[in-house]
Structure formats: C-alpha cells, structure tokens
C-alpha cells in the first residue's frame, strides 16, 4: 500500500540506503555490504515501463512503475521522495508536489507503484529512498528541468458537446466537403505554432504521393493549416467546462477539400475514378519557432526507422480514408459540394452549431432522362407520360440523365429522424416522390432548423 504524505508530517529523520554518491544514480542496484541473512535491506529501486522493462530515462512514457525490491521489511514504512527533475508525477490522479512524499507500507519483497508522469527534457532519475535514522540530503537543482518538447500524436476527429463538456471522437474516414478537426497532442509546446498539411497517401488521386491537398481553414483555401497549441483551450474557456483538458493540444477546424467549386468537382471526379471510389490521406506536423529540439513521435520508428517522424496516419491500417458521396448540411445554410455522377448511393449528415453530427441516412440513387422546360411552339421532341391517371408532356434534354432519390418508406410514406436537438418529419402525397439529391439536402436543412412536423410534398424532381 502506498500513500501521499506531507513532508512536515514525517516526524523522524529518514535514512538513505547507499552512500552520498549513490543516491543520485540512475536505476541501478544499490551497492551493499555483506549482511546477516535476516537483516532488513533495500536491495534495488528503479523505474520500469508498463511492460516491466527497466528504463534509464523518462521520455515519452505517460505511465511508469516505481519498483522497490527489499528483504525482510514486510510491514515497514518506506518514505520515497520523488525527484522534481525527472517529471511531473501523479499517484492516483493526485500530483506529487515538493511538499509531499510517497509512504510505502511494504507487503512483499517486490513492490510496484504505478505513477502517471509528464517527462522533463534531458532529466534523468534521481532516487531518494529513506529509512529512519539519517539526515542525509542531496541537491538536485543542477539538472536541466526544461519540459521535453514533443509532438505525441495527430489525428482527425469530430467534436461533441454535452452538458458543457467537450469531447473528441477519433475518425478513420471522412468525405469531401466535411468539416473535421485536426488534433495534435503535444508536451512542452503551449503557445507554439503548428503547421499542418493533409497529404496524399499512396498513389496519385487528389495530389501526387506525399504532397499536400487543398483544405479550407477560416474561409481560406490552400495546402496549409496553422494552429497555436493551447489556443482552443484558451478560446473556449467560457464555453466548455473542461477546456483546460486541451491546453497541450493544437486543435484546428478545417474543411476537407478546396473552396473553389471547380476544384472541388475535380476532387470529386478523381475520387469517383479511384479504386473503391476512395483515397487515403496522412498528416504532416511541423512546429514553427519552438526554440530548441522537438521530438516527433509519428511514423512508426520500428517499422520504418528511416522515414520522417513528423508524419501520422501514413501506415495502411492507420491511414485516413476520404470518400465523396456524402452531402454535409450545416446549420448556417451551407451544403457541401458533391459529385454523384459515378455513385449509386448518397448519404446525408446534418451538423448543428455546436458541431454535433447527425447521420440522416443513406439512400439509393436512380438515373433517369433529364428534361428541359419545353417550348410551346415546338412541334417535336415531346414525350407523353401518364402517371396516376394524370397525363403530362415533357421534352428530353438530349441524352442527358439526372440523379434522383426518394427518402420515403412505410405506409403512409414518410421520412422521420429524431435525435437530441434535431427532429425532422416529411410526408408525401404524390406519385412523383423522387427528389434531386441536392434539392432534398436543402429541404432537410430547413426542416432541421425549423422543426415543422406537418410538411407534405406533392413532388419535386428538379434541382
């Protein structure tokens, strides 16, 4: 059993094992003199990772174990003063401050104390293990205690907010025109600027391999996004109760794909032509002007030790997949551009003002003859259609076709969706129940905002 205790509550001067020179050594066995078999001894104290491997430096570990090996000390209390030059330690979520020490009640010859730690730059382990009887002290102020500057992880995510608590869900896929967040986890980089590229992974679809694709950030389109570490935490302090949780994160909100409609059409067509109608992208992260060395923990070093370490989502199983057949409908009236010419399905997503996402459904597409507004003076080109006992005349637009979809099902036919703050209800009373998919997206957005429950359609086929 181990507890945290104020140093002021330690009534007896503790006694170190080892000599003055050995107290500061790194995770090594303490030299011992020959002792009687039943004499109480502290044999070894060291840090290990979660796998139980002894470690000489705390670098990227978020959890470590302090291993204490003893003999004949069951029931005794050991006072352990953790160094402040190796990292910021926590025991059971409580930070170990300068005024506190660990008190271990020995229950076995090998005890393992689990600790959370934020590592410091270039710091090595200084061990303080004490027994009653000595007032030996050790000065630890000569070690560099600058926080290790590190980029730990980078990924795409979507934001959800509930009861004032913000949370991010990691995404493994997205669609052109979708608003997503790029999250970059760091250490020791609060206030630093991060430069972010979304890059083509694999063969050329949206761009040559490992080159940046265009994205939109704050209304500007280009290959680069920028964000300040801790900026989101600071900006959302009054909005989210847990904004402090993100102070070591760089968080950028972007739109996948370019702002230009013509460029977006190029991207959509390229994805439609790609194998599986999808492509993969990766993330490149660069710290701008941090001052000093920055450690990047990207691109699996074990599998590709020669590759750049500031790239994430580059491995096949981790790559982020982009498709092009979902229409994103936003609370502000914006609808993402999508090219459905080579798709047989269309999906709809509605995004609230707080970024909560609603998947409204996926529907089959059908293609039919495209009509034009006919000329009453034209004597040819008319096609007579009788549907539901009604006769209508149309003129063909050459050989062009158009995509149509219907959301209706059940009897009587209707479309309904309800979740959280969004409720959509639409009824039909027509033999022409098919919609242009873009026109239907507009209608969904209006119904999501207004919440009308008595809307009935009598047919809509045009954009």
Bridge partners, 380 (sequence order): none
The answer to whether position 292 is within a domain reads: yes
- From 269, 301, 324, give the residue that closes a domain: 324
**Same domain for 156 and 296:** yes
Statement to judge: residues 300 and 165 lie in one domain: yes
Note whether residue 405 is domain-resident: yes
195 with 226, same domain: the answer is yes
CA 258 to chain centre: 22
| 438 occurs within a structural domain | yes
Domain boundary among the residues 299, 324, 349 is at: 324
Q: Which domain holds residue 371?
A: 361-457
Q: Say if residue 308 is in the same domain as residue 373.
A: no
Asked if residue 168 and residue 90 are part of one domain, the reply reads no
Claim to verify: residue 252 and residue 193 sit in the same structural domain: yes
Identify each DSSP E strand in 307-404 by its residue range: 311-312, 320-323, 326-330, 345-351, 357-364, 366-372, 382-387, 390-404
The residue among 76, 322, 62 whose CA lies nearest residue 199 is 322
Provide the domain count of the chain.
3
88 in the same domain as 28: yes
The reply to whether 289 and 401 lie within a common domain is no
Beta bridge partners of 116: 63, 90
104 and 162 in a single domain? The answer is no
The answer to whether residue 345 is domain-embedded is no
| Helix (H) / strand (E) containing 265 | helix 261-273
Which of 66, 97, 132 marks a domain boundary? 132
Question: pLDDT tens string for the chain (463 positions)?
Answer: 777 777 667 666 555 444 433 333 333 434 434 445 577 888 888 888 877 888 766 665 578 888 888 888 888 888 887 765 556 788 887 888 777 888 888 999 999 998 887 765 433 333 344 444 444 333 333 334 456 789 999 999 999 888 899 999 999 999 888 889 999 999 989 999 999 999 999 899 999 999 999 999 999 999 999 999 999 999 999 999 999 999 999 999 999 999 888 888 889 889 988 888 889 999 999 999 777 788 898 875 455 556 678 999 876 667 899 988 888 899 998 888 777 877 788 889 899 988 888 989 888 888 887 777 766 676 677 788 887 788 877 777 777 888 888 888 777 788 999 998 999 999 887 767 788 899 899 999 999 998 888 888 876 555 4
Residues 123 and 161 in one domain: no
């Amino acid at each position: 059993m181990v507890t945290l205790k104020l140093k002021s509550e330690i009534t007896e001067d503790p006694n170190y094992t080892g000599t003055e020179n050995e107290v500061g050594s790194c995770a090594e066995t303490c030299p011992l003199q020959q002792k009687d078999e039943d004499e109480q001894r502290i044999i070894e104290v060291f840090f290990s990772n979660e796998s139980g491997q002894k470690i000489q430096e705390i670098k990227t570990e978020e959890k470590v174990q302090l291993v204490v090996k003893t003999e004949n000390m069951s029931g005794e209390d050991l006072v352990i003063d953790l160094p402040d030059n190796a990292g910021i330690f926590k025991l059971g979520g409580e930070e170990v401050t300068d005024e506190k020490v660990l008190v271990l009640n020995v229950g076995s010859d090998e005890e393992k104390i689990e600790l959370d730690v934020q590592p410091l730059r270039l710091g090595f382990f200084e061990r303080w293990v004490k027994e009653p009887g000595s007032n030996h002290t050790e000065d630890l102020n000569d070690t560099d205690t600058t926080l290790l500057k590190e980029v730990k992880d980078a990924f795409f995510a979507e934001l959800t907010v509930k009861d004032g608590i913000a949370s991010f869900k990691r995404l493994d896929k997205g669609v052109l025109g979708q608003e997503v967040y790029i999250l970059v986890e760091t250490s020791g980089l609060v206030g630093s600027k991060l430069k972010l590229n979304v890059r083509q992974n694999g063969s050329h679809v949206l761009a040559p391999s490992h080159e940046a694709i265009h994205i939109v950030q704050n209304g500007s389109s280009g290959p680069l996004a920028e964000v300040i570490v801790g900026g989101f935490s600071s900006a959302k302090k009054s909005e989210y109760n847990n904004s402090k949780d993100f102070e070591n994160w760089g968080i950028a909100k972007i739109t996948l794909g370019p702002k230009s409609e013509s460029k977006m059409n190029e991207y959509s067509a390229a994805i439609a032509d790609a194998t599986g109608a999808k492509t993969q992208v990766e993330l490149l992260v660069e710290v701008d002007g941090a001052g000093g060395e920055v450690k990047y923990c990207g691109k699996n070093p074990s599998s590709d030790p020669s590759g750049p370490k500031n790239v994430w989502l580059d491995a096949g199983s981790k790559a982020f997949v982009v498709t092009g057949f979902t229409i994103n409908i936003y609370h502000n009236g914006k609808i993402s551009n999508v090219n459905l010419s080579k798709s047989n399905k269309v999906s709809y997503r509605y995004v609230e003002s707080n970024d909560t996402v609603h998947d409204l459904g996926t529907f089959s597409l059908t293609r039919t003859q495209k009509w034009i507004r006919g000329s009453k003076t034209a004597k040819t080109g008319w096609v007579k259609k009788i549907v539901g006992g009604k006769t209508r005349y149309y003129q063909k637009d050459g050989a062009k076709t158009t995509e149509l979809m219907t959301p209706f099902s059940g009897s009587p036919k209707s479309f309904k969706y309800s979740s959280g703050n969004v409720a959509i209800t639409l009824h039909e009373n027509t033999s022409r129940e098919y919609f242009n998919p873009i026109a239907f997206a507009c209608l969904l957005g209006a119904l999501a905002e207004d919440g009308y429950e008595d809307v009935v359609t009598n047919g809509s086929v045009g954009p």
